[in-house]
Structure 1
Amino acid sequence: MAQMHSLRDWYQANENIMGDAANQRFDSNATKFAARRTVNETDNQTKWDKYLNDCRLDDRLVQIEQWRCELERVLGNADAEINLLARMKDDCDAALAAKAIPESCCAECIGLRGGRLEIDVVKDVVYDELCNEEKLIERVKETLAKRSQEAFTMIMSLKDAKRKVSEDLEGKHHALDINRQALGFHTGSSGLSYIQFELINGGKKIGDCCYWKCDNKKITSFLTENQVKVNSESAICQKTKTQLQIERNYLERTKNELSYEKISFENELQSCKLESVKIRVKQESRILDLENAKKKLTDLVSDLENELNTLKREKSDVFILVIPYRVDRSYMQSSDGSSQISATINAPENNYAKYATHALVNGKLHIFGGTSDYKKIARLDDCTFNELTVRLNEERRNGQAALSIENGEKALICFGFTGNISKTCEIFDGSTTVSTFAADWSHRNGGLGLYKNQPASVGCYFEEHQKAETLSASGWIALPNHPKRISRHSLVGLENESMLLIGGADYGNGGFAARRTVNETDNQTKWDKYLNDCRLDDRLVQIEQWRCELERVLGNADAEINLLARMKDDCDAALAAKAIPESCCAECIGLRGGRLEIDVVKDVVYDELCNEEKLIERVKETLAKRSQEAFTMIMSLKDAKRKVSEDLEGKHHALDINRQALGFHTGSSGLSYIQDLGRVPQGNSTPESWNAYSTKNRDDCEEEIRASIQLRSLIESDITNTANDLEAQRIACEYAFRNRIHEFEQTKSELEWQKTRTEEELREIEAEIRNVEHAITSKAGPQKVCFSRYELRAELPGIEHCKDEPAYGLHNELRELEKSLAALNIRLEEAHNNRDRLCRTLATITHDLDLKLNSLRLDRQCLEVRKKLTVPLYRTPGIEPIMDTLTRTFA
């Protein structure tokens, strides 16, 4: 047999399958959305990167075009400047050549003046001026020669700068052509291809844009140095002005913040001052209150001391606590009887101390018994009666007495209301009660006192005797009788070991008891015959009653035997009728054995079928047992009937004899004395045994009848209950079948829905896989465009091969394309994995759906089989139809 699973496992398996399907669809949806998002993001990123690189190339073209115009302008200015500087150099050379005439004239004049003689050869003004002129001509020639050389050097520098500008301009034209061609590339362009090379940071060295710009700026700055300086100084001034404005604004804002903080601080300081003033006022008020309280307390202490001194000086007095029947009327009585003070005693109820006796135990007042609770023990603590958990051993309602013994450590509690309780005693030690010797005589309301330091009691209210007893270590010992029959008195032990009797009731010395005895004997003689006549008459009544009773019991026994026999036949018929449900149950169990795998489960139907099988066995056992019990009970009833019949025959004979005895009187004939009463037997039995014999026969027979009635009721109840139980079990089984079929149908519908949704999800994920594959393929065009642009821009000459924005943009675009392809490949792999998992889930759902269809078919077959349990019984002769309680029909 296949392994039997639990219903929880079945539900868990269904939940797992449906949960896995839902999770797989959820994961598939997440993968789809992630793939779509990745496709859209990579597509948008690719488009955005191309757009950015187009913008960067366009901006780069604008920059190169600007530099081309600038370089052409600078080149024109350089040509003009070279021509002007050459002409200026020629003018300088001409001016230098023209200085030979003044130089020769000056030399000739100096030579002519060298012909002066003697005293005329002097350093006069003419000599000084000629020397100055000669020096000036030399200085002018040096200056003009220097300027001519500088002009020549500058012309060479200008030509070299012009050459660089020309080369740079040629590179700009080439860069314009290459960048325009790169800008024109798109995914539909021809000649695109992949290339393998290192990007910006590897392989061929690419010039930095800053170097390219610096070379151009060197040329421009060389030509426009003054303008650059002015612009720089202007920018510095503007920057300084801006910084000063910012600092001014910052200082203004700081000033405002400080002003606001100052105002806030002043307000806070003012509030703190007000709060401190309030606190100071409160403290001063509290100090004044404390001083007043201290003064009042000092006065009160002084008054108390004075009153205490007065009380000490006064003479102390003793008060007696009086607790009457009603606790709320308690009071304190002064020892001299001059005054009373009301006392408040707390108790559970107002009559708590009524008829209770009292004694001191360990210095505490205890009360015992009373009408509120016959066994209570309560202790007076601070004007409150607290009932203890320990209880008296006997009920002491009224007339009991208590006495402190053993130096007040224990209490002796004795006597009571009536009976033996009026003789018993017990000892209470504060926590437990122990029974002790009982008195020989009753002493209700006889009191307890100490006589020769031993407990003693005198008299009794109930028996009105004169007995006195004392309790010794071996028990109660009799004392001389009291002269009078007394009770309700108090006993007080004196210091001389005597005992004082105070108050009480006196019932005389006992003379009237004899008169009462005489009257009683006279009356007894008159009443004896009357009583015997009454007894015989009562005896006849008793026998007649028993005769009627036994006849009634005998008739009941006959009727019960017949009823029980018919009930036994019904029980046997009900037992035979259980074969049909037994076969139906076995067939259903056999059919459900065809379930497979996880559907082989201990579900409610399985439990109900097992319960039905067990119920049928139990019903059969019960009915068989009841049938056997009915047979045994019939035999017992017949035996009891025999005994009652014999007893009834004896009752008829006794009636005849007692009627004859009742007819005797003082005038009857045949009367005589009997000298020896012992020779006349009083009887073979006592009235109790006679009554017990008939009672036993009657009770035994009635007990058998009651047992038979009970058995009939049980049999009828069992037949009805077993039928109802089987009907209820049938309804429960079919209800479980219908519920289970409903569960299978729900599970089937859910699995079909899961299968449909999984198939739809599988189609969607396959479409998404194709979409991702198309997205991966579509990245080839932008990648080729980017590679081709990168390859084309690698042909830029010299400094034009620059790490500019387009270069970084193309580099980033290639990286983003690689990331996009990697992300798309990951999404493609996830989609493939999800498709595989969905395929496995779909196979699991399909397999489980087949199992559910098989189980559903088997359970429906079981319901068809169980229809025979509701076949209308009117088709069977002699059996009335029973309505189906579930469908409310006979079919």
Structure 2
Amino acid sequence: MPQTNMLVTQEPVPQSVKSSDLVPKVPEVEHNTEHYGSSELAMAGFRSAKYLTEEWYQNNNIRCHQAFTDCDQSECNRQESKHLAAETKALSQRTQQDTNKKVGERLQDVHFWKSELQREIEDLMAETDLLIAQKLRLQRALDATEVPFSISMDNLQCRERRQPPDRVKDVVEMELLKEAELIRNVQELLKRTLMQIVNQIRLNRDHKEFCEMDWSDKVDTYNIDVLCSGYNNESTTVQFHPHSSKLDDSASTPEMWGKYCQENVCRAQREKTASVNLRLLIDNILNDSSKDLCVQCDAVNLAFSRGCQEIENAKNNLEHHLRKILREITDQENNISSLKQAIKDKEAPLRVAETRLYQRSQRPNVDLCRDNAQIRLASEVEELTMSIKALKEKLMESEHALKNLEGTQMILEKEISIKNNSLFIDRQKCMTHRSRYPTILRLTGYQ
């Protein structure tokens, strides 16, 4: 059978066909020529380079089957691609919708905590302003206690200038010492409270700063999430960021984030509660301390009034006795004058009687007798002598009584002077100075 040249049209090779399938299989050349004649030996080279007919049909069948298989696979691939594209489109839409939902929920969470932080910041600012006002009020109240303390110390120092025996530790001094001690205790309490309020203001400002930092982060986060929620598939500002899906190792978890926000808000609320309680405590301290000071001031004033009244009564009593002493001194002086005149009046009769006795002692001889006249003259002299002696003794007693009266007069006048000095100190100095005692409004820090 004559062999003809066959043109084989080269078709595009599908990707599923291996390159080894395209290489024609070369038949093995038979080297054994013992069955061929001489003419056949001459054609042996042409015959060995050709395909066999069966191989040609087999090759065609293979190519057709390969084409059919490739078409079928391609059609399946197209169907699968269309189905996959539809599935991925639906998945992408669902995923984007879920992402939008999550971003929206996150926006609500961020907005909630941002609002909470903003509210706490405003509350802390308002509470800090109230604390600053309370601090100013507390400082004014502390300054106001300096006046009553100086008044008490001045009263005590003034009363040290009292003269004995009026320099006594009386009720007034005890009340003044109690008042000075009370004022010192109130000042110490106000100073400690002032330190507490300064510390609380510092804590409020520190926590306000923490909340402001967290609030600033929430504002930035909220703006970023708002921007992200506005992106869609038609946005022109979106672009690829290949490595953006990798989170930093230091990134927090939602639980950590929520706990951090909650702790910030709780700390701010705790400090706000502590600030409110401190303000209430300051109100109670100022009210109680001012009432205690006013009550003690009234007690001191009452003690001063009673003490002055007692001194006034004592002075009046001394003046009454002084008037009696002065009258008695006058009477005693008159009495002494009378005694002296009485003694002087006895001198003339005594001279007469003694002269008579002297003259009668000159009688001569027997006429010098102890007659009744002589006896009477002697008794008269004796009586006059005894009278003068008695009058002189009484004069000495009267003069001694007058001296005692004059001494008592000096004592009474000195005591009255001491009482006047005590009244001047207590009434004119102390009580007048106590009229500058601050009012309860100043003691509570409102003025």
TM-score where L is the length of structure 1: 0.25
- Structure having the higher strand fraction is 1
Structure-2-length-normalised TM-score: 0.46
More helix by share: 2
Looking at both structures, which has the greater relative contact order when contacts are Cα pairs under 8 Å and sequence separation is at least 6? 2
